[in-house]
Amino acid sequence: MSDAKKQLEYWLGDSYFDEETKQELLSIRNDEAEVEDRFYRELEFGTGGLRGVIGAGTNRMNKYTVRKASQGLANYIKKNGGADAAKRGVAISFDCRKFSPEFADETALCLAANGIKAYVSDILRPTPELSFALREFGCIAGVMITASHNPPEYNGYKVYWEDGAQITPPHDTGIISEVTAITDYHDVKTMSKEDAIAAGLYVSFGEEIDDKYMVELKKQIIHKDVIDEMADKFTIVYSPFHGTGNLPVRRVLKELGFKNVFVVPEQELPDPEFTTLAYPNPEDPKAFELALKLAKEKDADIVLATDPDADRLGIYAKDNKTGEYVAFTGNMSGMLIGDYILRERQATGTMPANPAFVTTIVTTNMARVVAEKYGLHYIEVLTGFKYIGEQIKLFEQNGQSHNYVFGLEESYGCLAGTHARDKDAVVAVMMLCELAAFYKKQGKSVWDAMIDMYEEYGYYKEGQYSITMKGKEGAEQIAALMDRLRSNPPKEFGSFKVVEFRDYKTGKTLDMATGKEGQTGLPTSNVLYFALDNDAWCCARPSGTEPKIKFYMGVKGTGLEDADKLQKELTDAVKAVIG
b/e sequence 238-274, b meaning 16+ C-beta within 10 Å: bbbbbbbbbbbbbbbbeebebebbbbbebbeebbbeb
- Measured on CA atoms in the order 306, 96, 424, 438, is the torsion positive or negative? positive
- Hey, what's the torsion of the CAs at 469, 473, 476, 481, to 10 degrees? -40
Q: Annotated active-site positions, please?
A: 148
b/e sequence 112-145, b meaning 16+ C-beta within 10 Å: bbbebbbbbbeebbbbbbbbbbbbbbebbbbbbb
What is the share, in percent, of the chain residues with pLDDT greater than 70? Answer: 99
pLDDT of residue 425: 98
Is 47 a residue whose pLDDT tops 70?
A: no
| Least confident stretch, 82-96, 405-419, 469-483 | 469-483
Dist. CA 424–CA 144, nearest whole Å: 14
pLDDT digits (tens, 9 = 90+) for 411-430: 999 999 999 999 999 999 99
pLDDT of residue 2: 86
Residue 375: what are its φ and ψ, rounded to 5°?
75, 30
pLDDT digits (tens, 9 = 90+) for 342-376: 999 999 999 999 999 999 999 999 999 999 999 99
CA-based nearest residue to 44, from 177, 144, 169: 177
Dist. CA 526–CA 263, nearest whole Å: 41
Q: 3-class DSSP state for residue 308? A: coil
| Least confident stretch, 15-24, 96-105, 541-550 | 541-550
- Which amino acid is it at 8? L
pLDDT of residue 44: 76
| Least confident stretch, 34-48, 70-84, 241-255 | 34-48
**Whether 44 contacts 176, CB under 8 Å:** yes
What is the share, in percent, of the chain residues with pLDDT greater than 90? Answer: 91
Dist. CA 191–CA 280, nearest whole Å: 34
pLDDT of residue 46: 57
Arithmetic mean of pLDDT over the chain:
95
pLDDT digits (tens, 9 = 90+) for 259-311: 999 999 999 999 999 999 988 999 999 999 999 999 999 999 999 999 999 99
Dist. CA 391–CA 395, nearest whole Å: 6
Residues 6+ apart with CB under 8 A from 135: 162, 163, 164, 421
**Whether 314 contacts 280, CB under 8 Å:** no
